[in-house]
Amino acid sequence: MKNEVILIFPAKPGFIKEVRMPLMLLALAGVLEKEGFKVTIFDGRLKQKEALQLNNTIAVGISTTTGGQIVDSLDFAKYIREKDSTIPLIWGGMHPTMDPKGTAANEYVDVAVRGDGEFTFLELVQAFAKGRKVTNLGDIKGITWKNTEKDIITNPPREYTNLDLLGIAPYHLLDIDKYSYKELFNINATRGCPHRCTFCVLIDKWRAPSSEKLLDHVEYVINKFHPKKIGFPDANFFVGKQWAKQFMDEKIKRGIDIPWGTDCRLDYVAGYDDEYMSTMQKSNCYGLLFGAESGSQRILDLVKKDLKVEQTVIAIEKMAKYDLGAVCSFVVGNIGETKEETMQTLGLIDRLMRIHKKLDVNGIFIYNPWPGAPGFNDAMKHGVKLPTTLEGWGKFSMGTSYWENPFYSGRYKSWLRTLEMVSRLPFNPTDHYEPVTKNHQKFTFLREQLYKLLIADTRLRWKYKFFHFGFEYGLLNRYLNKYGTV
């Protein structure tokens, strides 16, 4: 009797600098193992598809986001279908959640799982283990599928997962030493964010495990793997202010001194009193990641960020006061944004860097309309062309799709592209220096010297805010398209 489930994490284009653990697949695997199934996590970043062993497989789960990862997902699905056409192919993750019908329409997709997938996937596997056909799934919540007539059917949504039921992730299923975890070990803690930013695909009900369960997980990781830091790469860790306070108080009480960091909103920090900030500092929070987005109040209001520019300034002042690291990301080129408003954002970045010497800019991203985001329909009204196939979505990415957006003029578009490339490099003299060539063996010295020249060029461009004629970044982009990202 078949008893194995394979969970696939597809690769993305480019070379790999850091291979981080597939956290959501670990959550799925833990639920399946508790029910007696053998689980294999197959990471496409580490192995070629030819290494798949399909002899005892009940079903294959493929997790994917919008963009280049879909290309590798389809490559895996085609390979599996050729080897054994009877194995159900279950797709989940961000893209199937945002575009379930478009995903399920593809011939290499049997089922698209929407939202929290742990118990939906478990129920599917249990059904297939008993001989259920992929065309007879009308009673399973949270999926979109095809019947025998190839009609696409969307079943009712599944209830949110009780995160306390997930327990400690089954890390034994990973070849752990092939992952980047010694400096920073990431653990998924909370899910969802209740805010309404029009560019975001993570808007959902916020939920969290008990702070005690989360700290049990943290202690397990510390004792087992001995990382230097713990990170919670959540959408918005601090939505539950009192929950986060309980977490920090309990961390201090247990004597868990390991540094930790996560995501937060700037308006939250701007409103925190000294006691709350002091607790954050005492709990050894090394820093927070913020979406500052814009230095233009009109743009912040337009994208429904519900944030004032001065709240950003106040929050960064507090982070500096308590010697907490701060990482900010920004979005430019929004629909209707002018160059003058983009310059307001650059001015805000300079102001924040003067306030907080440890401030890091995570990127100045060009607005890209992602499927499922509240602003996506508005982008379509302005002429954005929607991919009509799963293969088309595989070509949709932050690095390329915006280039075709019709609401940018050609000159402004080129200016934005140069600005975006500048933000991907150490444009601030206090930025940490890391050679782009670290993963290459040939011509390392020559590439290193060229990179140093590029950094000098980048810092001059930033200082004088000159982003026209970015020919050198065109060459860099060609390099990155072939080898990966900085």
Per residue in 323-348, pLDDT (tens digit) is 999 999 999 999 989 999 999 999 99
Q: How high is the mean pLDDT of the chain?
A: 91
The answer to whether residues 132 and 193 belong to one domain is: no
Give the mean model confidence (pLDDT) for residues 257-280: 98
346 inside domain: yes
Tokens at 461, concatenated: 């461009």
Domain count, the chain: 2
pLDDT of 483 > 70? The answer is no
**Looking at the domain assignment, is residue 19 inside a domain?**
yes
Residue 435 pLDDT exceeds 50: no
Which domain covers residue 312, as residue numbers?
Answer: 185-367
149 and 189 together in one domain: no
* H and E: helices and strands count for the chain: 17, 15
CATH number at residue 64: 3.40.50.280
Sequence-ordered strand ranges (E) for 3-68: 4-9, 38-43, 57-63
459 is a domain residue: no
User: Using CA atoms, how far apart are residues 189 and 207, in angstroms rounded to an integer?
Assistant: 9
pLDDT score of 2: 85
Q: What is the token pair recorded at 457?
A: 């060029």
What is the distance between the alpha carbons of residues 358 and 252, in angstroms, rounded to a whole number? 24
Are residue 237 and residue 311 in the same domain, yes or no?
yes
10 domain residue, yes or no: yes
Please say which residue of 334, 367, 400 terminates a domain: 367
CA distance linking residue 187 with residue 171, whole number of Å: 11
Of 222-231, 265-274, 297-306, 386-395, the one with minimum mean pLDDT is 386-395
Are 60 and 206 part of one and the same domain?
A: no
| The pLDDT value given to residue 437 | 40
Reported confidence tier of residue 399, pLDDT bands at 50, 70, 90: low
Which of the four pLDDT bands, split at 50, 70 and 90, describes residue 369?
Answer: confident
Residue 164 counted as domain residue: no
pLDDT > 70: what percent of the chain? 92
Q: What is the pLDDT of residue 48?
A: 94
For residue 201, what is the DSSP state? Answer: S
Residue 439 clears pLDDT 50, i.e. is over it: no
| Residue in 50, 150, 37 with CA at minimum distance from that of residue 61 | 37
Task: Give φ, ψ of 113 to 5 degrees.
Answer: -95, 135
Q: What is the pLDDT of residues 4-60, one digit of tens each?
A: 999 999 998 655 567 999 999 999 999 999 999 999 999 999 999 999 999 999 999
DSSP H or E stretch at residue 349:
helix 339-355
Calpha distance 52→57 (Å, rounded) = 10
Closest CA to 432 of 349, 359, 365: 359
pLDDT at 61 over 90: yes
Task: Kindly state whether residues 107 and 47 are assigned to the same domain.
Answer: yes
| 221 and 361 both lie in a single domain | yes
Q: How confident is the model at residue 442 (pLDDT cuts 50, 70, 90)?
A: very low
pLDDT tens-digit series, residues 77-127: 999 999 999 999 999 999 999 999 999 999 999 999 999 999 999 999 999
Residues 199-228, mean pLDDT to the nearest whole number = 96
> Does 144 have pLDDT greater than 50?
yes
Are residues 125 and 210 part of one domain? no
Instruction: Flag whether 389 is in a domain.
Output: no
